[in-house]
Amino acid sequence: MGGTKVSSCKVILLGLGLAITTPQVMTAQIGVVAGYNRDLIEKFVPANGFDLTDTTNGFHVGVFFNINLGLIGIRPAVIYHQVPNLVATAGTETTPFDIELVEVPLDLRLRIPVPVLRPYFLAAPVFTFPSSSVSGVNNQLGPRPIRAEFGAGFELDLGIRLWPEIRYGFGLQALMDSGIPAGDQTLVGEGNPRLNTFTLRLGVSF
């Protein structure tokens, strides 16, 4: 009988402890992000006489919702990502084009318990929805190519919360088919282009 009372007391104390600590451990922020992206077109080798831009510099902006659960953070976002100044070449014929992506990264963050800077590591699948204003290119784009991203950053609490971070992403699926029209010809090569991305990003939350 006494053992039952002790067990009941332990359960009550555990419940009180959780009730006290959960509001402190679980926090959430809404924020905005913007930054620079260096985009790399990989996994495609143009045939002789053909070419495709393999590196370009762009930008991205978006919003996120962060949930902190102790040392683990979950941070979904919606981001507009521009990949500008691409060119497909076939002999003397060229097709300049841009690609725009709406991206949905689902960041999983491991927070390091260091005061002030609050560093973290992150990993995320990134679901992308590409489009292009050039119809011949738009028709070649994959429907929802996925990218895997890894990175690191800091949470800086200065009244508002700043999130500087660096990320690198690997395309897991083809961004587009290789048959991009270039003048009266079609781009020829081995493989289908994937998008790898190096990102410098700053988030601000309230």
Task: Render pLDDT for 77-88 as a digit per residue (tens, 0 to 9).
Answer: 999 999 999 999
Task: Identify the three-state secondary structure at position 3.
Answer: helix
DSSP string, 120-133: EEEEEEEEEEEE-S
Q: How many CB atoms lie within 10 A of CB 164?
A: 14
Read off the pLDDT band of 206 (50, 70, 90): confident
pLDDT of 128 reads 98
52: enclosing H helix or E strand: strand 50-52
- Residue 68 near residue 27 (C-beta atoms within 8 A): yes
Read off the pLDDT band of 94 (50, 70, 90): very high
- Residue 55 near residue 41 (C-beta atoms within 8 A): yes
pLDDT tens for 8-56 read 445 444 443 443 344 445 688 999 999 999 999 999 999 999 999 999 9
Residues with Cβ within 8 Å of residue 139, at least 6 apart in sequence: none
Tell me the mean pLDDT in the region 197-204. Answer: 98
Half-sphere exposure of 21 (CA within 13 A, CB side): 8
Q: Using alpha carbons, select from 195, 178, 198, 194 the residue that is nearest to residue 51.
A: 178
Half-sphere exposure of 27 (CA within 13 A, CB side): 9
- Residue 101 near residue 193 (C-beta atoms within 8 A): no
Reading the block at residue 91, the tokens are 């002999």
pLDDT of 5 reads 42
Q: How much is the pTM?
A: 0.84
Q: Using alpha carbons, select from 174, 197, 206 the residue that is nearest to residue 105.
A: 197
Half-sphere exposure of 9 (CA within 13 A, CB side): 6
